[in-house]
A and B are shown apart, each in its own frame.
Chain A
């Protein structure tokens, strides 16, 4: 047995470590198009102290550490680009405390979205969190590490904006509390009114430390959720429609999607509008507000509401399932999306680009944009489905995604959950002083460069 394996076993026990080829095979890849790369070990800690010991070991041995939730980012963010130890966080899955009055929860760094949802439904039915449409086994810490978005993002911002405090193991092994928990017992603020140190970890894709606890804001869980589906064939109207809808200031979530298949969706842009209420009257009031605000498009015949009774239960699922269904249209179950964050006024240009790229690379497209913070921006998903058993198709998708990201950057967008190539493109365009600041932070926090190397790799 190698020394490192033995040391890891000493820390987490035999069952928490593996270098068996069949397990490493799984930990080498993610569901996206990027090439796999084998780790040397997989380790699954159960406590912050175990995480700390592993990081210290890695530091001593200068071995990469890749924190991993459920590995579903699709952007290869947990593929161990330089080998090393994949740290599977899923055994750290406890829900540590809920403060119902202050509406926050504290969870361990491997707790899944599904576990929190189920826990709240059972124990705190009047509270909810901002669930992303990712599979329920994906983790909360990972989601804030990549600035995810969820059902409440239109109202309250990125899911990472909802963090109320962190516990982090730094790349050098110190355990560090961030935000209000660094001062007292309450997890009520990730930063303000202190200097906001949470920015050293949120959005860093595991390159600056390992999140072992997350405090997360909870929000009122209204008794009734409902949806309306507005369609238009005029892409130029989308920004205006979104502007009007967000002006209502009462919608849970707004998604805009379009796809050529099945045929009923061809040629139209669909805006799913989610809203909530505690009584039928509240729901009806909101519904009328939504219809009233879009009446002018009905009158001009440019847009209308679909009758959705038969599909409502699917629309209201959390997480939504239809994104994953799309993956199997070309058969072979693969899909990857890049999701630049962009101003909503650019929707028409992004939509045109997506269709152009799909034709150029002969791949199947879909898009589902989500509004962020009442319309300040949107996440515009550029999604392509592929057959995992067709390397040529996967290569075409990879090229299409690269070109999409170059376009997004040209348009002044910023990348969301960028893969290592997209990070590189972004850094190349970044204002030099900002890039140097990133470098300074990364080098100071992670002097040995062991944390998820290959990602956010800043060269001076």
Chain B
């Protein structure tokens, strides 16, 4: 079984302890306390972090020293038999995402377009932007990144399933897998490397692919001239180096994303997992602060990068007068493939 690579020495000598100090859901008096808690976790001792962490993934980004604090927290929780979300919800996710031989594989050659296990992604990965790869779609639990189980502190499920997923892609003989979901790309890069799993093909981040295509389609782009607020997803925290890609796409299609309080490192998640773990109070508060912030900067659209965030927040942003739209659909709007009104 693959083990998490966690360099204890790096942590022991860490002068920032940013992983916990920057956490949006726990308060620490200062470096000493935060670092102390991390040390406890490392040594397998009890820590309040193990009960209070909301699984927002952000400390994976806050630690800039190459360690994986969130994966470690999840490992320790599981070792101690702890549950983040209620047990029946945790098990439901495990059951729901089990491989049952019901998958779809398109006309895959060198490249596969991964739709994970999210039906909405199939419709997104179409049109002029994806014309070369749309027919190479793959979908199903057999090709799903199991990263969601980190929310439920069930790293054993990831360790068991991810090698099978990687092997399933390998068997397709692909050289590249274009991941339509941050979570897939994050899994095949961040998680796979943290657990020393070899990935025998090149994972491609879909927004890199989209950016490249939009450059090629430059002539077709009519600047949208709209103001938006971008909803960063939790799994984007696993691949923070990809954050600038979003901004480049916005520039290319004439979209203004005014600076707001909850963006980039300080972004707030869609809060669905918070609702599941702790109830509506914290979740409603986070959603309210987040949408207030979007409204304050005059955003007309709320732009999503993750279908799960979109499902959870669409109605809520719409009630506040913002139009919910996936970033791919925004690009399709810019090249005239989608009407603004149909969003």
Contacts and interface: CB of A to CB of B under 8 A. Distances in A.
Interface of A: 231-233, 263-268, 280, 287-288, 291, 295, 297-298, 301-307, 309-310
A263 B85 contact: no
Contact of A231 (B88, B280, B319): B88
B86 A264 contact: no
B273 to A, nearest CB: 9
B279 A291 contact: yes
- B87, B311, B312, most chain A CB atoms within 10 A: B87
B95 A303 contact: no
Given A291-B279, A307-B275, A307-B276, A263 B96 contact: yes
Nearest to A268: B88
Contacts of A231: 86, 88-89, 92
Interface string B10-54: 000000000000000000000000000000000000000000000
A263 B94 CA distance: 10
B96 A264 contact: yes
A306 B319 CA distance: 22
Contacts of B315: 309
B163 to A, nearest CB: 21
Contact of A266 (B95, B275, B280, B319): B95
Contacts of B88: 231-233, 267-268, 302-304
Given A231-B89, A268-B88, A304-B85, A298 B95 contact: no
Contacts of B98: 263
A233 B85 CA distance: 13
B225 interface: no
Given A233-B91, A264-B92, A297 B280 contact: no
A295 B311 CA distance: 24
Interface string B252-285: 0000000000000000000010011011100000
B279 A295 contact: yes
Contacts of B276: 304-305, 307
Contacts of A232: 86, 88
A418 B279 CA distance: 42
Interface in B269-326: 272, 275-276, 278-280, 311-312, 315, 319
B87 A298 contact: no
Which are the 5 A-B pairs with shortest beta-carbon distances?
Answer: A304-B86, A264-B96, A233-B88, A304-B89, A231-B88
Contact of A264 (B85, B95, B279, B311): B95
B280 A287 contact: yes
B87 A305 contact: no
B279 A298 contact: yes
B95 A306 contact: no
A268 B92 contact: yes
B274 to A, nearest CB: 11
Nearest to A262: B96
A303 B92 CA distance: 11
Contacts of B85: 301, 304
A266 B93 CA distance: 11
B275 A302 contact: no
Contacts of A307: 272, 275-276, 311-312
Nearest to A232: B88
Contacts of B279: 291, 295, 298
A301 B51 CA distance: 12
Contacts of B92: 231, 264-265, 268, 306
A241 to B, nearest CB: 12
A267 B312 contact: no
A45 B87 CA distance: 57
Interface in B231-252: none
A288 B98 CA distance: 33
Contacts of A267: 88, 91, 95
B100 interface: yes
B83 interface: yes
A224 to B, nearest CB: 12
B89 to A, nearest CB: 4
- A233, A304, A306, most chain B CB atoms within 10 A: A304
Contacts of A264: 92, 95-96
- B86, B98, B312, B315, most chain A CB atoms within 10 A: B86
A263 B100 contact: yes
A301 B86 contact: yes
A268 B312 CA distance: 23
Contacts of B278: 298
B86 to A, nearest CB: 3
Contacts of B280: 287-288, 291
Contacts of B87: 233, 301-302
Nearest to B82: A301
B214 to A, nearest CB: 29
Contacts of A306: 89, 92
Contacts of A280: 319
B328 to A, nearest CB: 19
A291 B279 CA distance: 7
B247 to A, nearest CB: 29
6 contacts: A264-B92, A266-B95, A295-B279, A297-B86, A298-B279, A307-B312
A99 to B, nearest CB: 37
A263 B95 contact: yes
A233 B86 CA distance: 10
A223 to B, nearest CB: 15
B91 A305 contact: no
